[in-house]
């Protein structure tokens, strides 16, 4: 029987913890204790692990995660841009800084089907409002941007991470 204290345990606990709370913390008076019991550890360890993961950025935040759609932000567009590879590292942070952009990522192209390398999730209440905001992004990108389009979601086919309170 191994002691359960060999190197690697911390990483294992972090992975199991992320998995356990990925769909949400339980809505009970002592949620960290309940998660700890499920993982076979104790509340203080769960809290210390979450603190450490927040401190080094592995967890961005812990809190209430709102659903944009339910808050009336119905016209969520995935805006994508074909940005000069030599400029994208400089321009990306400017796009991520817009307050209507919730996520901004660089991803690989797959030409010819997919020429775009910069993704920005744009949230607004109507499609014209999304389009106005995408024009703002486009003008910030200037001549480094060779093309763009907006992909609206038609249907949500699966979204886990949604756990209803009992």
Residue ranges in 84-113 that form contacts with another protein under rule CB under 8 A = 89, 92-93, 95-97, 99, 101-108, 110, 113
Strand partners, 103: 121
Candidates 2-10, 31-39, 129-137, 140-148; binding stretch for another protein (CB under 8 A)? 31-39
Measured from the CB atom, is 33 or 144 closer to another protein? Answer: 33
Q: Which residues, 6+ apart, have CB-to-CB distance to 103 below 8 Å?
A: 119, 120, 121
DSSP states of 90-143? HHHHHHHTSTTEEEEEE---BTTTB---EEEEE--SSHHHHHHHHHHHHHHHGG
Q: Considering the complex, what minimum distance in angstroms separates the CB of residue 88 from another protein?
A: 8
Cα dihedral sign, 106-108-113-115: positive
List the interface residues with another protein, window 48-67 (CB under 8 A).
50-51, 53, 57-67
DSSP 44: H
Measured from the CB atom, is 114 or 135 closer to another protein? Answer: 114
Spatial contact of 105 and 42, defined as CB atoms under 8 Å apart: no
Q: Considering the complex, what minimum distance in angstroms separates the CB of residue 9 from another protein?
A: 14
Candidates 1-9, 17-25, 130-138, 139-147; binding stretch for another protein (CB under 8 A)? 17-25
Q: Considering the complex, what minimum distance in angstroms separates the CB of residue 40 from another protein?
A: 18
Candidates 1-9, 30-38, 129-137, 139-147; binding stretch for another protein (CB under 8 A)? 30-38
Planar angle of CA 113, 118, 119, nearest 5 degrees: 90
Element (H, E) at 101: strand 101-106
Measured from the CB atom, is 1 or 65 closer to another protein? Answer: 65
Q: Considering the complex, what minimum distance in angstroms separates the CB of residue 5 from another protein?
A: 20
List the interface residues with another protein, window 135-164 (CB under 8 A).
149, 151-164
Output phi, psi for 161, to 5 deg: 95, -5
């Amino acid at each position: 029987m191994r002691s359960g204290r060999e190197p690697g345990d911390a990483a294992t606990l972090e992975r199991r913890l992320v998995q356990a709370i990925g769909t949400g913390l339980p809505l009970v008076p002592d949620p960290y204790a309940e998660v700890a019991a499920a993982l076979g550890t104790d509340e203080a360890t769960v809290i210390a692990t979450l603190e450490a993961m927040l401190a080094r950025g592995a967890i961005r935040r812990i809190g209430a995660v709102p659903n944009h759609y339910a808050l009336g932000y119905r016209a969520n567009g995935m805006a994508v841009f074909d940005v000069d590879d030599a400029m994208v590292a400089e321009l990306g942070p400017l796009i991520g800084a817009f307050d209507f952009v919730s996520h901004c990522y660089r991803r690989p192209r797959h030409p010819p089907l997919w020429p775009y390398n910069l993704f920005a999730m744009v949230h607004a209440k109507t499609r014209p409002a999304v389009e106005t905001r995408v024009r703002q992004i486009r003008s910030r990108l200037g001549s480094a941007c060779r093309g763009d389009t907006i992909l609206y979601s038609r249907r949500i086919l699966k979204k886990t991470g949604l756990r209803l309170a009992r």
